[in-house]
Chain A
Amino acid sequence: MAFQFKPAVMVETLPLLTEGIELTIYITLLGLVFGFMIGTVAGLGRLSQNKFNRSISSIYIEIIRGTPMIVQALFLYFGVPLATGVRINPITAGIITIAVNSGAYIAEIVRGAVQSIDKGQFEAGRSIGLTRRQTMISIIWPQAFRRMIPPLGNQFIISLKDTSLLTVIGVAELTRSGQEIVAVNFRSFEVYLTVAIVYLCMTLSIAKALRWYEKKLMARSHR
């Protein structure tokens, strides 16, 4: 039996993916919001004067970057409840996985951006009497943040795609939805092609949105 491409299947598939798409977006958004917070804390922790903060941040970053996200998700969803007796639902586990995972990479982005700011900026802030904290918040962070946008965009795209790994803990996100449709109609070519196109649309949107945001920030300060 020769393979025959049926575009109509793609048109039929798309509406069936709606819930999966929504869940993917939901997990990505929440995961990245928390991931950004974790990453900021850990990134600044690595630059802290306090040795304890520096070690804790480094250990976290190394563990997360050194292990596959799929293992992190399995461990959190299946392993941790055994030890703690607290079951969490797959979606929550998925959000936590994305947050903790992206947080480690975002921490490195934050650290790199802050370190890239000229030391003279810090000294100028201190020389007019700003405290370390005030200098960080008013002088260093706004400049560092601007430099973080391109690598952050990259990380957002990676994390969005990484949500597909959450199929292993049974999260009914986009990839999983595709698998379930294929199980019924066996049209893997059309269904996965549709799924891929949807991912592509989402990642391209992120890239575009961040470019727009970067331009807006530039325009605000350098008219």
Chain B
Amino acid sequence: MSDSSNMIEIRNLHKSYGDIEVIKGVDLNVKQGEVVVILGPSGSGKSTVLRCINRLEEITSGTIVVDGFDLYAKETDINYVRSEAGMVFQQFNLFPHLSVLQNITIGLIKVRKMDKAEADKIALSLLDKVGLPDKATAYPDQLSGGQKQRVAIARSLAMNPKVILFDEPTSALDPELVGEVLDVMKNLADEGMTMVVVTHEMGFAREVADRVIFIADGVIQEEAAPDEFFSNPKHPRLKDFLGKL
């Protein structure tokens, strides 16, 4: 059933690597403006689901619709849809040979065909937004991890995406740098950005998420609003998972 308030609709998603099935039938809707946090043990398929939503992987079967576009349909312009869904990686993946400003403008210039002056203006305002107004001319290796991740967020925001996918955005950071990145994400959520976040930051999940999802063994085992999710976990694997934290 297609519902136009859904930004993402995943139906019966299956994904195998060779003979090994890692996603075994996932159904998930994400509404416009919703923040969904995905939890789950290592190797359960969290990253794989995100990567399928950005079509960084080919899926084995099922459908994924993002903003009304069937991602895996032949007629879909995948480059266009990709730029509509931003992705923030655990390892930042900034372009080391480009300045901070160029990291943010390259998509605007090459994909959106914007002229440089206009792209620079947008980039500078985004740097302001992520709290790095004075880093435009710096290069990635001159930044701390937290600063890198904030630039990466600005880079994906530049494309004015309909949704941003975060894959453990703070896991590679020193503990004292986690907060600055989560703050930026919190602000985005407050502004109504649709977000799917894989994270181990339970505080963020409780405070910011509209819904929390627990994935284990390639299927969604439980999903609930954060209060319910954390105070009344039902699935034994989830109880076990939360107990270990």
Q: Which residues of A contact B (CB under 8 A)?
A: 118, 120-121, 123-131, 134, 138-139, 142-143, 146, 221-223
Shortest beta-carbon distance from B185 to chain A in Å: 17
B82 touches A126 (CB 8 A): yes
Interface of A is mostly: helix
Instruction: Count B interface residues, CB 8 Å.
Output: 30
B79 at the interface (CB under 8 A from A): yes
Q: Which residues of B contact A (CB under 8 A)?
A: 54, 56, 79-80, 82-87, 89, 91, 93-98, 106-107, 110-111, 139, 141-142, 152, 155-156, 158-159
Evaluate whether A221 and B56 lie within 8 angstroms (CB atoms) in the complex, with A126-B82, A128-B83, A129-B80 already known: no
Shortest beta-carbon distance from B165 to chain A in Å: 8
B106 touches A127 (CB 8 A): no
Q: How far is the CA of A126 from the CA of B78 in the complex (A)?
A: 10
B87 touches A127 (CB 8 A): yes
Shortest beta-carbon distance from A183 to chain B in Å: 53
Q: How far is the CA of A124 from the CA of B89 in the complex (A)?
A: 8
A127 touches B111 (CB 8 A): no
A129 touches B97 (CB 8 A): no
Q: How far is the CA of A142 from the CA of B103 in the complex (A)?
A: 14
Q: How far is the CA of A102 from the CA of B80 in the complex (A)?
A: 40
With A123-B87, A127-B82, A128-B111 given, can you name 14 additional A-B contacts, CB distance below 8 Å? A118-B93, A126-B56, A127-B86, A128-B83, A128-B107, A129-B107, A130-B106, A130-B107, A130-B110, A134-B110, A139-B95, A143-B95, A221-B96, A222-B142
Contacts of B83 in A (CB 8 A): 128-129
User: Which of A134, A138, A143 is in CB contact (< 8 Å) with B96?
Assistant: A143
B111 touches A129 (CB 8 A): yes
Contacts of A131 in B (CB 8 A): 79
